[in-house]
Amino acid sequence: MAVEYGSEVLTDAEWKILHPLIEACRPRGKTPPQHLRRTVTAILWRHTNGAKWRAIPPDLGPWWMAAQTFIRWARLGVWERLLDLAQQRGVALGMTFLDGTTIRAHPKAAGASKKGDLEHGETCVRALAGLVAAMARRPA
């Protein structure tokens, strides 16, 4: 099942690589996640496109589920562990360049960090999105 949303593609082969890594890092709860692939795809889509949570395509599930999962995992350090585990597997991330003219600051960007600062988790997810993109460019 290759799902394509804009420029983000998460193929079966990529999910086959990512899924065991995610399972090794994610927190264990009372109930296992029902739509883990869809939620992770939504998180990667959001960080790849720089969109707001509410802009996530409806096909990727409720936006609040992706946001809630991202925030919860960021506070628990799941994204850092996942990125470290992926890098230990030898997946090269490559380089990414950002054009500052296309990045808008939120009006509240001048304020201090809030409770449970999530900036480091977002950086890890962006790197993980780059990792998924790098996996897509590899020949099979």
Please tell me the distance from the alpha carbon of residue 29 to that of residue 38, in angstroms, as a whole number: 18
Looking at residue 68, its pLDDT comes to 92
List the structure tokens of 16: 């086959």
- Domain containing residue 49: 7-28+35-97+117-137
pLDDT of residue 65: 92
Q: Among 30-44, 58-72, 89-103, which is the least confidently predicted range?
A: 89-103
CA distance 61 to 79: 20
pLDDT mean over 84-97: 70
**Partners of 4 in beta bridges:** 9
Provide the domain count of the chain: 1
Tokens of 129: 């999105």
Helix axes 12-25, 36-49, angle to 10 degrees: 100
Chain segment 107-135, per-residue pLDDT in tens: 666 665 555 556 667 777 777 777 777 77
Q: Considering the domain boundaries, does residue 22 fall inside one?
A: yes
Tell me whether residue 76 is in a domain: yes
Q: Is residue 14 part of a domain?
A: yes
Average pLDDT value for the chain: 76
- Evaluate if residue 52 carries a pLDDT over 70: yes
In a domain, 91, yes or no: yes
Residue 138: exposed, middle, or buried by beta-carbon count in 10 A (0-12, 13-18, 19+)? exposed
- CA-based radius of gyration for the chain: 15
Amino acid 18: pLDDT: 86
Does residue 59 form part of some domain? yes
